[in-house]
Chains A and B, each alone.
Chain A
Amino acid sequence: MLLQHPLMKPLAALFALLLVDLIFIPGFFHLEWKDGHLYGSVIDIVNRAAPLMLAALGMTLVIATRGIDISVGAVVALSGTVAAMLIGGTMVMHNGVPVYEANTPMLWALCAAMGAALLCGAWNGLLVSTLGLQPIVATLILMVAGRGLAQLLTDGQIVTVYYQPFFFLGSGYLFGLPFSLYVVAAVVLAVSLLMRKTALGLFIQAVGINPVAARLAGLKTAALIFFVYVFCSACAGMAGLMISSNIKSADANNAGLLLELDAILAVTLGGTSLAGGKFSLAGSMIGALIIQTLTYTIYSLGVPPEVNMVVKSVVVFLVCLSQSPEFKQIWKRKAA
């Protein structure tokens, strides 16, 4: 019965990957206590996967309404840039000792960054829900222009942040675990609670599966669609903060580049259909972990860089095939 659970397949794929790591990478699961926190490959993976998990979380809801948001990477760049610019500050040399100050109080800066992300979401949401543009073109606009805006703000330069407390978000530790993990957990928890305690999940699915019927049943379809895009951008905004905090700078040119593709991949690997409807938050989280584990495995195995992509694609094919019931049937028929 348990084996029938839809999460089993992505989980199995993740475990298979981890098994490869266990066999081929000595000390992969080795964890040690260092500088007051856990240190090891597994920690790296979850820490690195955190932004992707956030992005995938938002993407899941968008996809559930039969939409898609390809502006995630641009929003990541924008929010990271806003935060870094407001906090950043220039390094002041004081008798050869560098002193760092935040330009704007960090809280304000974070709020401004999230505000920028929410605006992006509202923009996308408006185009899709009110104007009725196709989601892919609607978000394409921001995908192109958003990164341009971020570069405009920074003049194309990488904005380095010197203000220590900001680093906590992306590379700090709490009770020995990466702080980003707690952020993700909190958001996931909040969303699952929202799904459980309110009818949001039901409504989103209804809109995704049959928008006409949903409207006739009295759902505010436009408002729901607007909401999911705002939420997706908010998640992307948080991911952007995490990424820029982690590298202590904001790189408007490259931050979050192609993150949308990874996020969509994570959602689909987690078993959510791009045709909308039924979705699985946990599945998307596992999907994100699969992707990050795979990337990390490639680095750790010493795969030559020119082979990276082939390996990645072959694994994605295998994971997908292993999830296909049709494939299993053929397998069985062969065996019989």
Chain B
Amino acid sequence: MMAQVRGFASAPYFTSLVTVFLLLAMLAAGGAAYPGFLSLQVVFNLLIDNAFLLVIAIGMSFVILSGGIDLSVGSVLALATMISAWLLRSAHWPPVAVIAFVLVLGALFGAAQGALIHYFKLQAFIVTLAGMFLARGLCYLISIESITIEDPLFVAMSQTQLELLGGFISPGALIALVLLGLAIYAAHYTAFGRAVYAIGGNEQSAQMMGLAVGRTKVLIYALSGLCAALAGVLFSFYMLSGYGLHAQGTELDAIAAVVIGGTLLSGGYGYLAGALSGVLILGTIQTLIAFDGTLSSWWTKIVIGGLLFVFCVVQRLMSIGAKNNQ
């Protein structure tokens, strides 16, 4: 029995399990403290409200697993909402064409960043930071005001509620979950996914082993751009508007979610599913605070920091403990 526990504790996915366990603990604590917290719909709301973040975090997971970073995602999201809104309102494109166009554009944007990073040996941090300025800047070139979306398809997507177990979730949340499934499959069962891990483990070795490092890296950033654009589309479903100031600082949330989900920022280690637990944890922290409803703006920040701290430390200590025990 003990040996089993030990084997379990030394499994590579242990950190991720700790994360899930802590998430459940946090939900339970919330349920005990605030009436109405532990309802199904609150949990579904976590998914609905964070669908776009989950989608971004999925793209970000690939980037981080490969040892890179992508700071442009939040801005690309905003750009996607902006372009969608503008195309729908001013150019009167059909909504499906708009979505396809935006997705392609996001992928191209990411691919361009990836190409700069790989072929010119530039640092991912700077390239994507400049990309972040660029994408947001482009939003303002379209319009500095927010543009409302009135397209029927978008409105329908926004207001549809899919009944599930007595609660409801949004199509956006469903899309995000499906994407997560696809991403887990890609990371685990395709050559591309494994190349991502290999590059994160040791880029030089991956090159020497004959992997197409350049192509993979460009693809990774393209994927991240695509996810950001898709998140933008979900965000436009969610908000029904395009706006240059949408989703500011989302890149940091996405990185935090991925890292909290157990992925190492230095690359090579972690699981795609961790993105989900990371996103849910950030969401739960916010929900806890909203349910509490007595915190001032600054106490909100302090409590978020404190919960992050407790969370990271417990996660870390449990992992260390498990290692020592093995």
Contact = CB atoms under 8 A, between A and B. Distances in A.
B298 A313 contact: no
Given A313-B131, A321-B120, A134 B259 contact: yes
A134 B64 CA distance: 13
A256 to B, nearest CB: 14
Contacts of A324: 120-122
Contacts of B301: 144-145, 147-148, 151
Contacts of A317: 116, 127, 130, 134
A145 B302 CA distance: 4
Task: State the main secondary structure of chain B at its contact with A.
Answer: helix
Interface in A35-81: 66, 70
A273 B129 contact: no
Contacts of A145: 301-302, 304-306, 309
B91 interface: no
A153 to B, nearest CB: 9
A75 to B, nearest CB: 13
A309 B316 contact: no
B312 A306 contact: no
Contacts of A326: 119-121
Contact of A308 (B137, B265, B316): B137
A140 B251 CA distance: 13
Interface string A309-331: 11111101100110011110000
A142 interface: yes
B132 to A, nearest CB: 8
B32 interface: no
A245 B305 CA distance: 28
B127 A320 contact: yes
B255 interface: yes
B298 A268 contact: no
A156 B265 contact: no
A66 to B, nearest CB: 8
Interface stretch (B138-146, B149-157, B221-229): B138-146
Contact of A136 (B121, B265, B320): B265
Nearest to A308: B137
Size band of the A side of the interface?
Answer: 35 or more
A148 B298 contact: yes
A131 B116 CA distance: 36
Contacts of A144: 301, 304-305, 308
A151 B296 CA distance: 10
Contacts of A264: 125, 129
Interface in B91-133: 116, 119-123, 125-127, 129-133
The bracket for how many chain B residues form the interface is: 35 or more
Nearest to A148: B301
A19 interface: no
B133 A312 contact: yes
Nearest to B244: A306
B114 to A, nearest CB: 14
Contacts of B123: 268, 273-274, 320
Which of B119, B125, B132, B297 has the most chain A CB atoms inside 10 A of its CB? B125
A310 B134 contact: yes
Nearest to B134: A313
Contacts of B305: 141-146, 148
B45 interface: no
A17 interface: no
A137 B312 contact: yes
Interface string A156-169: 10000000000000
A156 to B, nearest CB: 6
B109 to A, nearest CB: 12
A133 interface: yes
Interface string A260-278: 0100110011000110000
A137 B259 contact: yes
Given A265-B129, A326-B120, A152 B298 contact: yes
A177 interface: no
B256 interface: yes
A152 to B, nearest CB: 4
Please indicate which of the listed interface residues A66, A152, A269 has the most CB atoms of chain B within 10 Å of its own CB: A152
A1 interface: no
A131 B119 CA distance: 37
30 contacts: A131-B316, A131-B317, A132-B320, A136-B255, A140-B256, A140-B308, A144-B304, A144-B305, A146-B305, A147-B298, A148-B299, A148-B301, A148-B304, A151-B301, A152-B302, A156-B296, A264-B125, A269-B126, A306-B137, A309-B134, A309-B137, A310-B134, A310-B141, A313-B131, A316-B130, A317-B116, A317-B130, A320-B116, A320-B126, A324-B122
Given A143-B305, A316-B126, A321-B116, 20 more contacts: A127-B312, A132-B320, A133-B312, A134-B265, A137-B308, A140-B308, A141-B312, A145-B302, A148-B305, A149-B298, A261-B129, A265-B129, A268-B125, A269-B126, A306-B140, A307-B140, A308-B137, A309-B134, A313-B133, A320-B116
